[in-house]
Chain A
């Protein structure tokens, strides 16, 4: 027996330099395989956010750019020269019938022409498209007036307007939804991923078992975090591809910078997940708490709806949310094509947040439970 032991001692002293790298690779492989085979992970991190993107893009996408639906009551001469790209015109027998259509949301505005007066009834049901319709009708009336006046006095010079659209035109829903949903998706996979994993480790003691292998805890955690980082990059690629191909989002030249932004965000969200995993004792508790954090965070961070249009208190709250900064930075870089230097403040806030929460999780975490 002693000869055998001697020999073993000999080999154990000889630790090859690549051992750590090989241990990292095998752990990464094992954890990555587990991630891919876990259908709930794929659903929550990829499919669910994609469903939200498609749904919200369709809901918010209708309206503003389509032609205004006008109900003409009686004969409305001014509409004769209307551009069909701007107006679709229906007629109603009387004003009451027209107003009923407005209430039902079947039209954006009703118009009555009474001699030289064009009376406009914008929709109260959909006040935004009502206002748009009303504005378009006013400018149509102005155009007609201008034509009449120019014909009467051809020598009088008139002013003309030429509209240049800022940021490539009106903010399309996909332009805030793509970065918003991506930030939300990254938050979900970070928070749920870390919290769920820690609760799993409390139950299955995998971490405890691995501490007794030659691989160090650091290697194991590194492999686990790397899997999450790769997932975040895949999410970024999938979401932006769907936004570009499916919804015509034009990706800027700086789009690649979304990757480091998303990786930084993942660190912040993983840290939040570690805090939750430390508190929760069961998987349902971890999922519930993660939802409780990520869902309101998405709402106050402009993930589903532009922050600028949100109530003031929501805008104030958003300053405390890391998702806001990730969302903002992604939008600036991917949609508006600003350079990374322009989003340095957001990067700073995100990094500070990640460090702060990481410190909290480090201080509060009970390693004995693992």
Chain B
């Protein structure tokens, strides 16, 4: 069977009057298998959305090749779009329609049954708002409706472009559950995000993108493993004397600053056991390497969300 997505060497350059030449997408290649949850992670302006729009068939690349479910997304074909579900960054709705009318219209466009529309509203938790005008919905509710519209055609491949941007933490977590459920049903999901935790929590594999290029692709755990970074253990100062600190730091490093002692170790279990037996666990914080460290390592730049 064909891969869900195959992208080879995409390039897109914008020529702005003031900005000059901007290489928005600069030689991007990746492959997404069917059923995978694939993330494209990068800061704002990294080229994520442009890449996604080229893959979806909204923009034509200057060069490069895209295959969706084995077919080219260009020119528009009803046979292909029927199998795709798309949520764009801006919630694109018909004006002045209610929630039910909105998803009903999308259902008709995809040739889906009316019952399916109601089912999707239920899935995203908007059934009780069915008769509300879309413009009255909160930001999170609009995003969920947008996702419901993306799912109403029972797609095999779902694109979600920063669905959780500008949402409060609770709404974001709710949306994570929804996205996980979509993927668990066997659909391939492609997600762009600039939230590290989001990519870590949801994605099977993550492509880290910066300045129009994909710097690396791996699973979140694989990235962290490859980084091979020490675990940082912090406790409040004053519980251990200097000799003991030096003793505990033997297999790593230890430093004292701002009333805390910070250990960096590759054997956190041994260190934590020792600290516990010393009764020196006040102010304890353990931090393992995460995608933020990976981003710093891969791009050479600090992560700024």
Residues of A within 8 A of B (CB): 1-2, 4-5, 8, 12-13, 15-16, 19, 22-23, 25-27, 29-31, 33-34, 37-38, 200, 203-206, 208-217, 368
Contact = CB atoms under 8 A, between A and B. Distances in A.
Contact of A1 (B35, B56, B97): B35
Contacts of B105: 26-27, 29-30
A214 B96 contact: no
Given A4-B186, A23-B109, A214-B110, A34 B86 contact: no
A2 B1 contact: yes
A8 B58 CA distance: 24
Interface in B1-43: 1, 34-35
Given A5-B34, A23-B108, A214 B94 contact: no
Interface stretch (B76-84, B241-249, B257-265, B275-283): B76-84
B111 interface: yes
Contact of B79 (A12, A31, A203, A211): A12
Interface string B101-136: 100011011110000000000000000000000000
Contact of B56 (A34, A200, A212): A212
Contacts of A208: 58, 88, 92
A209 to B, nearest CB: 4
Contacts of B34: 1, 5
B92 A216 contact: no
A279 to B, nearest CB: 15
B57 interface: yes
A200 B79 contact: no
Contacts of B56: 212
A29 B106 CA distance: 12
B94 A30 contact: yes
Contact of A19 (B76, B78, B93, B96): B78
A146 to B, nearest CB: 70
A214 B111 contact: yes
A181 B244 CA distance: 93
Contacts, number: 95
B95 A200 contact: yes
Contacts of B96: 33-34, 37-38
Contacts of B79: 12-13, 15
Contacts of A13: 79
B270 interface: no
A22 B86 CA distance: 21
A34 B110 contact: no
Interface of A is mostly: helix
Nearest to A29: B105
B239 interface: no
- B contact residues, range: 35 or more
B97 A30 contact: yes
Contacts of B88: 205, 208-209
Contacts of B1: 2, 5
In terms of DSSP, what is the predominant structure of the interface of chain B?
Answer: loop
B284 interface: no
Would you list the 8 A-B pairs with minimal beta carbon distance, nearest first?
A209-B92, A26-B108, A214-B78, A37-B96, A34-B96, A30-B105, A213-B109, A205-B92
A33 B92 contact: no
Give the one of B90, B95, B106 with max A CB within 10 A: B95
Contact of B109 (A27, A34, A38, A200): A27
B59 interface: yes
B101 A33 contact: yes
A5 B156 contact: yes
A206 B94 CA distance: 7
Contacts of A5: 1, 34, 156
Nearest to A6: B1
B58 A34 contact: no
B255 to A, nearest CB: 50
Contact of A15 (B78, B92, B95, B110): B78
A364 B238 CA distance: 72
B91 interface: yes
Contacts of A206: 92-94
A28 to B, nearest CB: 10
Contacts of A29: 105
Contacts of B95: 34, 38, 200, 204
A106 to B, nearest CB: 52
A220 to B, nearest CB: 9
Given A5-B1, A26-B109, A29-B105, A12 B92 contact: no
Contacts of A34: 94-97
Contacts of B106: 213
16 contacts: A2-B1, A5-B1, A5-B34, A5-B156, A22-B108, A33-B96, A33-B101, A37-B96, A205-B92, A206-B92, A208-B58, A211-B58, A213-B109, A213-B153, A214-B109, A214-B153
Given A34-B96, A206-B93, A212 B86 contact: yes
A43 to B, nearest CB: 15
B134 to A, nearest CB: 10
A214 to B, nearest CB: 4
B86 A8 contact: no
Contacts of A15: 78-79
Tell me which of A5, A12, A27, A200 has the highest count of chain B C-beta atoms within 10 A of its own C-beta. Answer: A12
Nearest to A13: B79
A20 B95 CA distance: 22
Contacts of B97: 30, 33-34
B57 to A, nearest CB: 7
Name which of B59, B76, B101 has the most chain A CB atoms within 10 A of its CB.
B76
